[in-house]
Amino acid sequence: MIKTSFLYKLIQSRPTLKKVLESIGWSFLDNLFRKVIGFFIGAWVARYLGPSQFGLWNYALALTSLFGVLASLGAGSIAVRELVRSPEKRDELIGTTFVLYLLGSLISFSLILIYSLYIAKVDSFVFILILINSVSFFFYPFAAVSVYYHAQLLLKYTIWAYNIAFIIVVIIKILLIWHEASLTYFVITGPAEAILGICLLTWFYVRNVGSLRSWRFSYTLAKALIRSGFPLALSSVALMIYARIDQVMIREMLGDLSLGLYSVAVKISEVWYFVPGAIASAAFPAVLRSKELGEEVYLARLSKYFALMAWIGLSVGFFFALSGSYIVNLLFGSRYEGSVGALRVLVWSGIGVCLRAAGDSWFISEGLERSILCREILGAGLNVLLNLLWIPAYGINGAALATLVSYSFVGILYDYLDKKTRKLFFMKLRAFPYGVHLLREYGMKLLRGGGENGLDL
């Protein structure tokens, strides 16, 4: 007989597990709210606009995402670290970060103009859409106030600001659909949400912390932030390349209609991608603390950790592979039925995403940040090369396959190439059969009504 109190007893008997679950729950709240609502509203908008216009919008979004990643110059997280260490330097750190964000935003905007006018040579309407999407760059420097909130663990202000902006824009999108507005108005909602969120966050800062006039710029500090943040900036650029370059290349090679279909496949397959990062940030510290209990215990828990992440990716892959056609037709409409093939390939990328998130925690704990940078650059180069070969040959399914291979390389295969991480490669391979073993083990405990020595994180 299965005891109904088994899970409760298991959680209560494992204080570490209880803390992990609580941390995961809090990490999910903000992402879950915006991702779920945003997904359904996005599906409604896509259904209204149709594949071609939706593809055009996503082209503008992909371009601004690709170049916009440079706007922070990698300084944000470094500034947070320094503010934690030296709270008395608040105004100098935030003021310097503001100037660096301004410089980065100008660089991003200039690169978008150069690419649009001289490389892609887009028509006037597409150029207007790209310009509209880029307007938020001029407000981004004020996002430097988030450095203070992150350093002080006052994330509720960030959550409030961006969720208020999100809710307002959701209402506007519904009204735009109701009044049968044109594509241009929907494009405006993107930067409008970002600008409103930044303005609210800045208002919270002025009201609760201090005046912006007290900010100071330090040239010495700016050099230090850029020097420390440069590898992070390069890693972010590489990550964005293999996450979004396929959409730019599809539009250039196949047109707006194909990009619209592919964008729907991407949105469905990525709707849950915040989950691995949330689990990794919450669960890995518990795994890391087991080092104090000995290498054997640490490796055993690390194996369980990888098994958990691998099977999350595998389970979600099966779910979307089986239900993808139904989801597309129900939410997006029959006009997007051509996206199902790409979706059935993309969903398996989630395994690489999960194992990459799990592996990143280990990389950072072992001081292998340079290996992360090398991995991301190689992954980006591989993605571009495969897209060049497979998009002309296989269309959007080729782009989906290129993404799957790139994510698998970054999440699993790269570890074999580096001697320092090779043991991680074999642990990830063993994660799949080991996951079956764990399921069988805990299933038997559940059936016996035992499990007092359950999942030991």
Give the domain ranges of the chain: 1-44+255-457, 50-217
State the pLDDT at residue 328.
95
Enter the pTM of the model.
Answer: 0.85
State the pLDDT at residue 166.
94
State the pLDDT at residue 3.
46
State the pLDDT at residue 19.
46
Two tokens, residue 430: 């063993």
Two tokens, residue 412: 């699993």
State the pLDDT at residue 454.
43
State the pLDDT at residue 443.
47
State the pLDDT at residue 90.
86
Per-residue pLDDT tens, the chain, 457 aa: give them.
Answer: 444 454 455 555 555 555 445 445 555 677 777 888 999 999 999 999 999 999 999 999 999 999 988 888 888 778 877 887 888 888 898 999 999 999 999 999 999 999 999 998 889 999 999 999 999 999 999 988 988 887 776 777 888 898 899 999 999 999 999 999 999 999 999 999 999 999 999 999 998 888 888 889 988 888 988 888 787 788 888 888 878 899 999 999 999 999 999 999 999 999 888 888 777 766 666 666 666 677 777 777 778 888 888 888 988 998 998 999 999 999 999 999 999 999 999 999 999 998 888 887 777 667 777 788 888 899 999 999 999 999 999 999 999 999 999 999 998 899 888 888 888 888 888 877 654 544 555 444 544 554 444 445 5
State the pLDDT at residue 286.
66
| Cα end-to-end span (Å), the chain | 26
What does the alpha-carbon distance between residue 50 and residue 12 come to, in Å, rounded to a whole number? 50
